[in-house]
Amino acid sequence: MLSTLPAWQALSDHAEALRPTHLRDLFAADPARFDNFSLRHGKLLLDFSKQRITGETLRLLRALAEARELDAWKERLQRGEAINHTEHRAVRHMDLRAGDQAPAEVRNVLSRIAAFCDAIHSGVWRGYSGECITHVVNLGIGGSDLGPRMVAKALSAHHQIDIKVHFVSNLDGADLASKLADLNPRTTLFVVASKTFSTLETLTNARTARDWLLAAAGQTSGAVAKHFVAASTNIAATREFGIADENVFEFWDWVGGRFSLWSAIGLPVALAIGYRNFTELLAGANNLDRHFIEAPAERNLPLTLALLSLWNTDFLRAASHGIFPYSQSLSLLPRYLQQLEMESNGKLYDRDGAPLDVPTCPIIWGEAGTNGQHSFFQLLHQGGQPIPSDFIALGKSDYPLHGHHTALLANCLAQSAALAFGQTAAEARASGIPEHLLPYRTFPGNQPSTTLVLGELTPYTLGQMIALYEHKVFCLSVLWGLNAFDQWGVELGKVLASRLTPVVRGEADEHSLDSSTAGLITHLRQFRMS
């Protein structure tokens, strides 16, 4: 039992002793608190001085990491052992960004991606009518969508090539139809991105896109070969779909879906930002990999993020964790991290199949600042629940419009300070607030946050930041003793959906349904769905 380990017990006792201490007290007691509780790596700065911790907290958390044999797990990860034990798979996404050290098969696919980008960008690759490709549509979902979508948006200032990249993930026809409405089949390339090539959403969208293309080009035009490529591990299935082998960019079962943006799944990113920029993204991630592997616990950024998350979740009893990038370009980061963290660590059982006796992954959510300030920040300030958060700021704007960035940064800093320190009734009174309004104008503060500053948002720093979060997730899984690399929890719903589809269509009856599902189906059938 995790909670009965001596290292865990020591943290429990420490948390009880520290509970009455406010962040105000911690800052008052240590004028050098920022210096003592921040880390730098290259152009990244991680300020965790606004976390409700002391030096002793960190010492005890690091002792827990040692008790959980984090270093031995890092070695297992590096050696490519099958640490995804429920699927008997190695976890080798670091190999995808290892540069010259990458395995031959990885380098081979990367050089094919480079050549493909070149053919598209130079106009050598033409559509069925002889026109150049101007639009790329990625058809994928989950890990085959969120990573490339987030990165393509994050690096929009680096889109050097006149290619527009779109992402369609939802089974809802509204997603695909609304994109197709603005596209020309003669100049559109589809990337069917699916690790398994068996995902309902992606295959449904891919079939509809193929019909759309062939309706324009003609069934016998051979247009699929010029307008469809795939990123997948399942060559038999891509072949069956009709995608020529030379148009399939391969990856392998040792790449987890939510860790796959560095693989062929990154193809739409490379098409959008250029292959050279894509390699910069990989290089940034590789730099962080080496930091993670080599840096001692005291200077290790991913481990520190993980320890703080565990502290907030298990000892300060925070059920959720906000992600607030003060960057419009990073506005998809919360969604990306939702899959990365929650699909990895939202687990009930440990590696030995025993139930975990402590809460695991918090609910990850968030929104770009300043937008969030004008919707849900009220609850963070006065809702009475502990909600830790990550503020992410850019030193330099990627879209420098006069006056915008300094005001944005001021807001970012103001929010984390207001959350940490609040406002007492005495301070409110001193600022002239009338007595009857004092309760409403008092802010308890003590909301913990970490601020991550990226000097600039470049392919390299973005690669570093994503790898930072990936390794945070891995560290947390080791601390909790669970397998971060499977996702059995998503299966039950899929099985039920395939059973219900003919019932919803009215083609079959199912007598064992609960009354809610049966009642809803009866109601919905009247709309004659297709």
Q: Look at residues 86, 185, 38, 124 and name the one whose alpha carbon lies nearest to residue 487.
A: 86
Q: Quickly tell me which residue has 């079962």 as its tokens.
A: 253
Candidates 53, 68, 142, 419: give the one binding ligand G6P (CB under 6 A). 142
| 343 catalytic per annotation | yes
What's the CA gap between 439 and 203, in Å, rounded? 56
Helix (H, G, I), strand (E, B) or coil at 168: strand
With a CB cutoff of 8 Å and minimum separation 6, the contacts of 276 are none
Only one of the segments 137-145, 416-424, 446-454, 511-519 lies at the binding site for ligand G6P (rule: CB under 6 A); that segment is: 137-145
According to the binding rule CB under 6 A, does residue 143 interact with ligand G6P?
A: yes
Nearer to ligand G6P, 101 or 198 (CB): 198
The token pair that represents 133 in the structure block: 């490709």
522 preceded by a cis bond (ω within 30 of 0): no
Only one of the segments 173-181, 196-204, 291-299, 521-529 lies at the binding site for ligand G6P (rule: CB under 6 A); that segment is: 196-204
Element (H, E) at 328: none
In the complex, least distance from residue 82 CB atom to ligand G6P, rounded to whole angstroms: 18
Residue 503, burial from CB neighbour count under 10 angstroms (0-12, 13-18, 19+): middle
Nearer to ligand G6P, 30 or 486 (CB): 486
Binding flags for ligand G6P, 229-258, as an x/- string (CB under 6 A): ----------------------------xx
Helix (H, G, I), strand (E, B) or coil at 17: helix
In the complex, least distance from residue 258 CB atom to ligand G6P, rounded to whole angstroms: 6
What's the CA gap between 318 and 525, in Å, rounded? 42
CA dist 311 → 125, 321, 345, 475 (Å): 53, 12, 15, 13
Nearer to ligand G6P, 312 or 338 (CB): 338
Site for ligand G6P in 404-443 (CB under 6 A): none
What's the CA gap between 328 and 208, in Å, rounded? 32
In the complex, least distance from residue 364 CB atom to ligand G6P, rounded to whole angstroms: 15
Strands of the sheet containing 248-250, edge to edge, are: 164-168, 135-139, 188-193, 228-232, 248-250
Only one of the segments 154-162, 195-203, 245-253, 496-504 lies at the binding site for ligand G6P (rule: CB under 6 A); that segment is: 195-203
Candidates 158, 195, 291, 335: give the one binding ligand G6P (CB under 6 A). 195
In the complex, least distance from residue 168 CB atom to ligand G6P, rounded to whole angstroms: 13
What's the CA gap between 119 and 108, in Å, rounded? 17
Phi, psi (deg, nearest 5) at residue 496? -65, -40
Nearer to ligand G6P, 141 or 394 (CB): 141
| Residue among 374, 396, 404, 510 flagged as catalytic | 374
| Residue among 250, 343, 367, 470 flagged as catalytic | 343
According to the binding rule CB under 6 A, does residue 141 interact with ligand G6P?
A: yes
CA dist 91 → 9, 84, 107, 474 (Å): 31, 7, 18, 11
Nearer to ligand G6P, 251 or 391 (CB): 251
Identify any residues that bridge with 91 across adjacent strands, giving them in sequence order.
none
Nearer to ligand G6P, 263 or 277 (CB): 263
CA torsion 172-129-153-174 (nearest 10°) is -10
In the complex, least distance from residue 83 CB atom to ligand G6P, rounded to whole angstroms: 17
What's the CA gap between 140 and 526, in Å, rounded? 31
In the complex, least distance from residue 406 CB atom to ligand G6P, rounded to whole angstroms: 39
According to the binding rule CB under 6 A, does residue 196 interact with ligand G6P?
A: yes
Nearer to ligand G6P, 46 or 206 (CB): 206
Site for ligand G6P in 55-114 (CB under 6 A): none
In the complex, least distance from residue 337 CB atom to ligand G6P, rounded to whole angstroms: 14
| 374 catalytic per annotation | yes
Q: Is 251 within 8 Å of 263 (Cβ atoms)?
A: yes
Only one of the segments 73-81, 142-150, 417-425, 459-467 lies at the binding site for ligand G6P (rule: CB under 6 A); that segment is: 142-150
Element (H, E) at 418: helix 404-421
Nearer to ligand G6P, 196 or 423 (CB): 196
Q: Where are the beta strands (DSSP E) in 236-371?
A: 248-250, 320-325, 363-366
One-letter identity of residue 468: L
CA torsion 205-209-215-216 (nearest 10°) is 160
Size, binding site for ligand G6P by CB under 6 A? 14
| Residue among 131, 298, 494, 510 flagged as catalytic | 494
Candidates 49, 54, 138, 144: give the one binding ligand G6P (CB under 6 A). 144
In the complex, least distance from residue 421 CB atom to ligand G6P, rounded to whole angstroms: 40
In the complex, least distance from residue 367 CB atom to ligand G6P, rounded to whole angstroms: 23
What's the CA gap between 265 and 250, in Å, rounded? 9
Phi, psi (deg, nearest 5) at residue 365? -155, 175
What's the CA gap between 530 and 297, in Å, rounded? 56
Site for ligand G6P in 454-493 (CB under 6 A): 487, 490
According to the binding rule CB under 6 A, does residue 508 interact with ligand G6P?
A: no
In the complex, least distance from residue 109 CB atom to ligand G6P, rounded to whole angstroms: 16
Alpha helices by DSSP H, listed for 193-261, are 200-217, 223-227, 235-241
Site for ligand G6P in 319-348 (CB under 6 A): 343
Only one of the segments 136-144, 148-156, 245-253, 310-318 lies at the binding site for ligand G6P (rule: CB under 6 A); that segment is: 136-144
| 240 catalytic per annotation | no
According to the binding rule CB under 6 A, does residue 204 interact with ligand G6P?
A: no
Q: Look at residues 102, 83, 485, 52 and name the one whose alpha carbon lies nearest to residue 285.
A: 102
Query: Which residues are at the interface with ligand G6P (CB under 6 A)?
Result: 141-144, 194-196, 199, 202, 257-258, 343, 487, 490
Residues tagged active-site: 343, 374, 494
